[in-house]
Chains A and B, each alone.
Chain A
Amino acid sequence: MIRLEKRTAPSQFWTYAAPVLAVLLTMICGGLLFAALGNDPLITIRTIFWDPLFSEFSWYYRPQLLIKGAPLVLIAIGLSFGFRAGVWNIGAEGQYILGAICGAAVGLAFYPTESVFILPLMIMAGALGGWAWAMIPGLLRVKFGTNEILVSLMLVYVAQQLLASMALGAMRNPDGMGFPGSRNLARYPSATSWINEGAGLHWGVVFAFVAVIFAYITLSRHIFGYHVRLSGQSPRAARFAGVNPGLLVLVCMGIAGALAGLAGLFEVAGPSGLISIDFNAGYGFTAIIVAFLGRLHPIGILLAAGLMALTYIGGDIAQSNLRLPAAAIQVLQGMLLFFLLAVDVLTHYRVRIGTRKLA
């Protein structure tokens, strides 16, 4: 008989090996899925995980890795604080949209003046927008004890409707001949977040790396990081240690919201360029997978975001070259999260085969 025995401390080995095992299992099951869809599994897996990095067109795909990875890193780093402390903000998609709307609004308000202050102002507006949107579930949880999971998620749907109304109404390009969508901020030199478009480098990439370093130091060296970890592992002990639980919820929510807002702003002022109805691409939800895949650890998140960005790019290639449906990649990403949660059992439990010994 197979049974599980709780480890006294999480296994060091499996903490690092579990994500790798999960990725391997996902590749195997993904291969079976692709075979079922009538694609050659080996070629499809190679197209998704290998070609973006090492094929003859990789000079085009490698910059894409930065473009897709940066928002994932920014959002996932923000979420990891809350997830560690037991604050479940899953509405990052909404905070991302609000950051984009607020940042773009500032940029569009200054059009067509040129000044070095416009982009910094937009960055502040974007962070503030995301922060404010995240404060709604945060304050409601602290003041009224409402469930932040449900409120933050409901706000995603509200944000999507707000985005639609902005793209069709207030922010519509006056020179756009009636088409929905705003002016292209990427073509507005003072507002663009691009540093070097050919290399895939924009300010969001820079901020993502800064966020990783900042989060690493905060979590491992600062008292706030200690409080976050303590609250997640034992809320009661945290109370005795002098942690203000309400304030902690607000700060965790605020960090996540501001970083998601920044991600949205950099996206709208760079790779996406304009506010449009379907501007959001689900980064806010994929970042949840990234945060868990990276074990809520800043360096882990960096690696996980790279892998996730790879599946996005590889998925696009497979879609155009092998006619793989876009939804198959979504299923693959969901599968990855399942396997990750499943193999996590090995980190916290020993698998014992045989009957139970008598005590």
Chain B
Amino acid sequence: MDLSSINPILLLASLMVAATPILLAAIGELVVERAGVLNLGVEGMMITGAVCGFIVAISTGSPWLGFAGAALGGALLALIFGVLTQVLLSNQVATGLALTLFGLGLAALLGQGYVGIKAPPVAKFPIPLLSDLPVIGPVLFRHDPIVYLGITIIAATSAFLRYSRAGLILRAVGENHEAAHALGYHVIRVRLLAIMFGGACAGLGGAYLGLVRVPQWTEGVTAGAGWIALAIVVFASWRPWRLLLGAYLFGGVTVLQLNLQAAGVALPVSYLSMAPYLATILVLVMMRSGRAPGSLGQSFHASR
């Protein structure tokens, strides 16, 4: 075992990359949950996004169109969930699980002809000047644009929820849908939009896995990332900036575990691979999470 082979700067830089897919999926789910909807289908939307992004990227040759396609695919799949839970008033937990099972099958079906093909490369975009800083430069400012996009979405979501009128309406719908309805807001419409935003973000996160992290399509490429994203939303107590902390924590565990594997630690690979999942459980136990949105997981029917 040679721990000195692990370079801390490279470790931190790859931590940011490893955290990005979880971060993207989690911020989408955070908005959905703040609107009072519990969508357990993140894993399904992520993997569908991954396969849609991969197919579009391969057929157009442009990874950016791939990311757009992934967001669209994720949003469309989320719309199925939205219609079922909001219009047909089905149980959100069961529908979310169904979405995951369906998404995994759909992705495997769509991705059949694409196994083993390499994705078009995603160029890095070092930020001028800042990337030349010692230590901070390589860690923070020499990534591909999607890493920056993830952080931008966090900032934008935080500002949206905190300062905008629409954000206030969304929070009202999530805290008490009866009151929001009585005030004349369209609960169902707000929730459907939030659900589609969540799907688009999960799709982006999935595409990041398929196009950047593992630049090829393999079945089950998400390997539970969607579930970890759900856990991080609880960890963050439904606050955007704390999401960043959670995602980097998990990115850190994942990267460290991979580095330890490469460094040849005496533990078998299987036990090291358990680490991110065990860390998730540990964090769920240790974090006294904040208060969940008041109407989380409840169906809304106007005539009640």
A325, A337, A341: which has the most chain B beta carbons within 10 Å?
Answer: A341
Task: Check A330 against B89 for contact (C-beta < 8 Å).
Answer: no
Q: Which of A288, A328, A345 contacts B97 (CB 8 A)?
A: A288
With an 8 A cutoff between CB atoms, is B94 at the interface? yes
Alpha-carbon separation in the docked complex, A162 to B285 (Å): 22
Name the prevailing secondary structure of the A interface residues: helix
**Interface members, chain A 148-169 (any B CB < 8 Å):** 149-151, 153-155, 157-158, 161-162, 164-165, 168-169
Residues of the B chain whose Cβ atoms lie less than 8 Å from the Cβ of A136:
281
B263 contacts partner chain A, Cβ-Cβ < 8 Å: no
Instruction: Kindly identify which residue among B93, B223, B281 contacts A151, using a CB–CB cutoff of 8 Å.
Output: B281
A21-68 contacts to B, CB under 8 A, are none
Q: Are A345 and B88 in contact (CB-based, < 8 A)?
A: yes
Q: A148 to chain B: closest CB distance in Å?
A: 10
A88 close to chain B: CB less than 8 A:
yes
Contact of A146 among B94, B97, B277, B285 (CB under 8 A): B285
B301 touches A140 (CB 8 A): no
**Smallest Cβ distance from B236 to chain A, in angstroms?**
14
Whether the pair A149, B105 counts as a contact (CB closer than 8 A) is no
Q: Tell me if B224 and A153 are in contact (CB < 8 A).
A: yes
CA distance A147 to B84 in the complex (A): 24
How far does the alpha carbon of A3 sit from the alpha carbon of B301 in the complex, in Å? 10
B5 contacts chain A at the CB level, 8 A cutoff: no
Interface residues on B, range: 35 or more
CA separation between A158 and B273, bound complex, in Å?
Answer: 8
Interchain nearest-CB distance for B159 vs A (Å) = 28
Q: Is the pair A345, B89 in contact by a Cβ cutoff of 8 Å?
A: yes
By beta carbon, the residue of chain B nearest A326 is B108
Could you list some 15 contacts between A and B, CB below 8 A? A146-B281, A147-B234, A147-B284, A150-B230, A150-B234, A150-B284, A155-B277, A161-B270, A168-B268, A292-B94, A330-B105, A331-B102, A334-B105, A338-B80, A338-B102
A binding-site residues for B, Cβ under 8 Å: 3-6, 88, 90, 136, 140, 144, 146-147, 149-151, 153-155, 157-158, 161-162, 164-165, 168-169, 285, 288-289, 292, 325-335, 337-338, 341-342, 344-345, 348-349
Q: Footprint of A on B, CB under 8 Å?
A: 40, 80, 84, 88-91, 93-95, 97-98, 101-106, 108-109, 112, 223-224, 227-228, 230-231, 234, 268, 270-271, 273-274, 277-278, 280-281, 284-285, 301, 303-304
